[in-house]
Amino acid sequence: MAQAKKPRQRLDLRLMNISAPPPLEHVRVSMEEAESLYILHPKSIIAYQGMPQNRQDQLMNLTGVYGKKKWIRSLLRGPCQMILGIPAGCSLTTVDLGEQEELLFDLRHVMMFSESLSMKSVIQKMKTAWITRDLVRVRFTGLGVVGLLTAGDLATLHLDPVKPIFVDKSALVAYPQNAKIRLSVYGNQLASQHMNVQWEITGTGPILIQTGSRDHELMAHLQDDSLFKRILRELLPFGNVIIK
């Protein structure tokens, strides 16, 4: 007689405390004895309180080396607490992967993840990789949390099987593995000439995007850029490339 499959036990993530106050440009992490995290940017650890042997630096695997352009990651075990410095204008958000195992992440945004998670590489289609210069995305399996570093805040949108969502290619942080995704532009001819390449995505489930503005012209406008230059950039095809 076949035995009933035992349900997976969920990790109690209530004990781990990760707080990232937006204006302060740092992350405070506190872990209990049974908890552990990989930190993919070890130099971001600016203060640590705990037993010295609870930090073990390791060589990254090939996926980590490709995505992070770094060779070392740190494994930290509780009980301990630490402060991580993050760049100005960035924020760190934690995602509980208990129900989000199908998401494919841009590894550049992954700051940390639970030791209980397994990270696997997913190769992009060659056409997509050629245009975006992004060959590999990663998928996490298991129960735990992933800490995502983004420009601005992290926002969630929910996909529709028919109605596509268009996302600036530099803003997409994660999307479901079974989603239909392709590079595109939208709007009329003038709109398509002046926008960045977009991801056109349909399917089911959530997508995660970073909300920090990529509109350099907006900042120039706030800094009183020349009105004549702004008009030429908007009216001429590819004016934002020709006119600086």
185 and 192 Cβ atoms separated by less than 8 Å: yes
- Between 21 and 191, name the one with better pLDDT: 191
226 and 234 Cβ atoms separated by less than 8 Å: no
Is the pTM here over 0.85, yes or no? no
What is the mean pLDDT of the segment spanning 177-187? 88
- Between 240 and 38, name the one with better pLDDT: 38
What is the mean pLDDT of the segment spanning 156-182? 92
Count of beta carbons in the 10 Å neighbourhood of residue 3? 5
Give the start-end residues of each E strand in 160-216: 165-168, 172-176, 180-184, 198-202, 206-210
pLDDT in tens, 188-209: 888 888 788 899 999 999 999 9
Residue 143: both structure tokens together: 């129960």
80 and 51 Cβ atoms separated by less than 8 Å: yes
Phi, psi of 24 (to 5 degrees): -95, -10
